Amino acid sequence: MAWPIYFVTGNKNKLAEFLQILGPEYVHKIQSKSLDLPEIQGTVEEVSREKCRCATRLIQGPVIIEDTALCFEALNGLPGPYIKSFLGALGPDGLPKMIMGFGDNRAYALCTFAFCEGPSHPVHLFTGRTDGQIVNPRGPRNFGWDPVFQPDGYEQTYAEMDKSEKNRISHRFKALHKLKQFLETDYKC
């Protein structure tokens, strides 16, 4: 087993949530590394696999990457893995406007973690999904599309929630729980 495992991200908010959810026993086993990875087009699975393969070739060791998608039911799953581009172009205020005329504001947040032990090893995917709806922005605007996503069964958007509450129900938590189980059983950490 090789340590550390590199979590490839340049997003400090993602890193903070990642470490909070994993727990203190992983703080010294996981290191963050920011790499300029190509943004390929494809399904969430294709994007995740390719980014992970690219990262493990650059690092020459075990890596974890995360790809997050926000999928609107009215748009057959778009923007999906392209949410970062949509958010950059439209901002949080523009996302609800995209689906206003459709009469369907249902959406789901999808998180995929990809893990690869090294360049000659297979990529393993771990996915988590949280269903919800797209609403007009509420709460702090410091973490992507959190102000416009309200999970089913809650009156608050991700942005309005206490971090510990969000980290118990989020798409990221669900995917990371699966990854953690894999690391503890199959990767023997």
The reply to whether 131 sits in an annotated binding site is no
The reply to whether 186 sits in an annotated binding site is no
CB 68, CB 36: distance < 8 Å: no
The reply to whether 25 sits in an annotated binding site is no
The reply to whether 188 sits in an annotated binding site is no
The reply to whether 9 sits in an annotated binding site is yes
The reply to whether 166 sits in an annotated binding site is yes
The reply to whether 97 sits in an annotated binding site is no
The Cα-based distances of 141 to 5, 56, 119 in angstroms read 30, 32, 37
The reply to whether 172 sits in an annotated binding site is yes
The reply to whether 93 sits in an annotated binding site is no
The reply to whether 152 sits in an annotated binding site is no
Whose CA is closest to 30, among 51, 46, 14?
Answer: 14
The reply to whether 146 sits in an annotated binding site is yes
60 φ/ψ sector (left φ>0, alpha ψ -120 to 50, else beta): left
For residue 71, which amino acid is it?
Answer: C
The reply to whether 13 sits in an annotated binding site is yes
The reply to whether 138 sits in an annotated binding site is no
The reply to whether 145 sits in an annotated binding site is yes
The reply to whether 80 sits in an annotated binding site is no
Q: Report the alpha-carbon distance of residue 182 to residue 115 in Å, rounded.
A: 10
Annotated binding site: 9-14, 39, 51, 67-68, 143-146, 166, 171-172
Annotated binding site for ITP: 9-14, 51, 67-68, 143-146, 166, 171-172
Annotated binding site for Mg(2+): 39, 67
